[in-house]
Amino acid sequence: MLREALFAKIHRATVTLCNPDYMGSITIDQDLLDATGMRVNEKVLIADIDSMNRFETYVFRGARGSGVIGVNGAAARLTGVGHRVIIMSFCHLSLEEMQVHRPKVVICTPENKVAESLAYDPD
């Protein structure tokens, strides 16, 4: 049996642009993708700390070092520039894999740089 578990999280990133006329997705600075292991086209859950909205979308690559967190398409209406968000990616693991899996977590500065990088310990 597989269970769904947190794969990686970008915590307290700041939305830098919203484009409702673009075809969906969230654009994330390549440095943040590298730090978490998140991949282009991967499904992610976004929790907006300021509006309390949650929505799912998929990842687009943003320019390295740009600090971009751009919410596109219909989801752009659920957040706003300057809002703080949590971006979460999930995976399916066996019980044995869950016992050793350590989700990667990046805590962002207000400019969307890596302030802290850590990995959650398995239970």
Strands 26-29 and 69-72, by their bridges, are antiparallel
25 is catalytic: yes
Instruction: Give every strand in the sheet of 17-19, ordered side by side.
Output: 17-19, 69-72, 26-29, 54-62, 43-48, 84-94, 2-14, 104-108, 114-119
Catalytic, out of 58, 94, 117, 120: 58
120 is catalytic: no
Task: List residues with catalytic annotation.
Answer: 25, 58
